[in-house]
Each structure stands twice: as C-alpha cells, then as structure tokens.
Amino acid sequence: MRYLPRMAKKPLILVSPSIEKRGVEFHDLSASLSVKYDLAVLQAGGIPLTMPATTDRAVIAECVRRVEGVLLTGGDDINPDLYDKKLPAKIKKTVGQTPDGGARDLRELILIEETFRQRKPLLAICRGHQLLNIAFGGQLVADIRQQVPGALNHQQLNRAFELVHEAALTPGSLVSKICKRLVLGVNSSHHQAVQKVAEPFVATAVSPDGLVEAMELKPVAARGMPFLLSVQFHPERLTQKFAEHRAIFGKFVEACVRKNLK
C-alpha cells in the first residue's frame, strides 16, 4: 500500500512520551515511549522524534515548527481537576497520579494549542484523545466501571494486540473513509473515556455501550487543519495484523507530507 509520493521527503513526526517515576539509568524520572508508536510511524513513511520533557512554551512552539505532524500518545491518567473539580472521592481515588506532578498534562495542553495555532496534522491516541477533548472544554468519564452501568470491559491490557470489541463508524467520516468500513474492530486498554464531546469536535466512532471511540473536527472547524483524527483505541498495536489500522498511520503521514510540500 503506497501513501507517499515517490520523491517526497519523509516527514518528521513529533511524538509526546510518558514520564516514568523510575527509569533504568540512575532511577531518574525518565521519558517512556512504546516502540510501537515509532514502528507504526516508520512503517507509514515518517520519521518519529520524541518530544523533550519541558513546559517551556517557546521550546514547544519551536518543536512544532520544525516538524510536519504531531502524535499524542497513551499513558497516565489525566488530572481530574482539569475536567471535573467536583469528582466524588470514591471515583477520584481510581485516578492514577502522574509521577511528574502534572507536567505532562501542561506540556501536552501547550502542544495541542501550538499544533492548532501552526495548523499541523494531529493524530491523538487514547490519553491523547482524552486530553484533546479536555483542551477544548470537554469532559471525561473518570472511571468507566463506576460511571457507565452495563459498560463493556474496556481495560483489557492482556489483549492489547487483539480486536476485543467493535466500534460503529459514522458514514462519510474521515475514519470510515480511511478504514473503508462502517464497523471497525478495536483493542481496548483504558478505564477512562470521553464523556461530553467538546464543541469543535464530533464523535465519529462509538462502541456498543455508547463510549466515544473516535473524534474529528466538525466540517467548519476542519477547514484550518490539514488532518485531525482522535481515537480511544491503540492502532499502533494493530498495524502488523490489520490493514485498516495501518491505514490510519498511512493517511496521517500522507497529510504530513502534503504539509511539508506547501
């Protein structure tokens, strides 16, 4: 499957990592990133670059300026104060604490703002999908098991490379065009989810229990962005087996190439 023009320069993709409390070297706070993201970008024809661990707005803006696209990845829970300051204690205790004191939340919120300001292609995955919604005033389900009666088991970490449930895709949506189908099998490894979709977005994939599996910009809002797709599942873990998930990265990188040629 070919996505890139023969003579196109490979685009640089800025990938935002997690921060681990204890790394291998000296046990310092460490940047952490599954190689599956890098491999998926490389397979699609892009070159992944890991974002530095900084909240300096000028540095983040310069990082975005130097690349052709941005990839927001999965990882830690998001500080609930960013979307629900009145979250009940019994639910709040299910939310994990980030080891960097919330610096990743701040860094990625700035990254989202800069990506939109500079109009670069954006692919958001899992946590990135959730934070993108928060960045525009949306809300989250903090814990699916407690807040969504009758929900599927969405936290199937032991089946990360398998299709564990289906998602219904909106006809004519970007994700349906990319995947060339109206029902998409997905993996599932999250206990939080998008609840109230923020105004510039529209849900374009929904699980059988009603949770948002993909968001895109509404047509009017999309005019300024060359590409935006936000997904709750992890396509980077499915690219080896499933062409439709490989196509997500292919179209994202293709959009980054087009941005580079302008």
Picking from 229, 191, 198, 194, the residue whose alpha carbon sits closest to that of residue 210 is 194
CB count in 10 Å sphere of residue 160: 16
Residues annotated as catalytic (active site), given as ranges: 126, 234, 236
Kind plus residue range of the DSSP H or E element containing 40: helix 35-44
CB count in 10 Å sphere of residue 64: 22
Buried b (16+ CB within 10 A) or exposed e, 27-44: eeebebbbebbbbbbbeb
Q: In what order do the strands lie in the sheet with 228-231?
A: 47-50, 12-16, 69-72, 122-125, 228-231, 212-217, 201-206, 165-169, 183-186
Picking from 56, 57, 54, the residue whose alpha carbon sits closest to that of residue 16 is 54
Kind plus residue range of the DSSP H or E element containing 161: none
